Amino acid sequence: MTIVFGKKFKEYRKKLGLSQEELSERLGVTSQAISKWECARSYPDLEMLVHIAGFFNISLDELLKGQPLETSEYVPSENAQRILGLPEDDALRVVLCKGNRLLNFEEGCNGIKIPLKITGRVEQLEIRGSATIDGDVYGNVSAGGSVSCDNVDGNVSAGASIGCDNVGGNVSAGTSIGCDNITGNVSCGGSLGCDNIRGNIKYCGGNISCEKITGNIEKCEKIVYINNNEE
């Protein structure tokens, strides 16, 4: 059973894309313990086994025997803060389930792009896909895809393009940025088109077209177009 556990444990760790060090921090154990479990040199106690099964969102039978139950009888632990590492706050979080089994991101969304559209006040947003917000964000925004919104008080980070009205913090995009006013620093992999930028342009992989840049342009790959209009 120790060998089966070690194999399944390693399989689910890699499925979540976690290193031994990262998983050890999440489970509250040493990285050496993780290594010994995977190599079948030691075995966690019962309480830790329950903790691990809850973290991986699988049954104890599947963790110990390598086979899922014929019928899904597994219900995630009520202690979600300890098992999933969620903070005790008023944030709304959306999960994806198959039957009564909580799916991880790779199982539920691998190869599927699910854009998110939100209307109303948003305190803070972190999403792996793209987000369109019909309203203001009163915190930071982080997205794996593109971001489109009105005003953001904090920072905005996106793996693709960013299109916002006013951003009170820093802006970082994998591709292009199109905003009205940006207070902080800017970094983008594509073109940059804004009215006013008060901070520095740390990097721009495309053309820059702005009305006014107060800070410095530290690195730009292509031609820079700036209309130096004074107020």
Whether the CB-CB separation of 96 and 108 falls below 8 Å is answered with yes
One digit per residue, the tens of pLDDT, for the chain of length 231 reads 556 788 888 888 888 888 898 898 888 899 899 998 988 888 888 888 888 888 888 877 788 776 554 433 444 444 444 445 556 666 666 655 555 555 544 444 444 445 567 777 788 888 877 888 888 899 999 988 899 989 999 999 999 999 999 999 999 999 999 999 999 999 999 999 999 999 999 999 888 988 899 999 988 877 666 665 554
Using only C-alpha atoms, what is the Rg of the chain? 23
Structure tokens, 193: 């088109």
What's this model's pTM, rounded to 2 decimal places?
0.54
pLDDT of residue 85: 52
Residue 124: predicted pLDDT? 83
Rounded distance between C-alpha atoms, residue 226 and residue 199, angstroms: 15
Q: Residue 47 and residue 66: Cα distance in Å, rounded?
A: 19
CATH classification number, 2-77+98-108, choose in 2.102.10.10, 3.90.550.10, 1.10.260.40, 3.40.190.10: 1.10.260.40
Amino acid sitting at position 32: Q
Structure confidence at residue 179 (pLDDT): 93
Domain residue limits, the chain? 2-77+98-108, 116-226
Distance, CA of 176 to CA of 192 (rounded, Å): 6
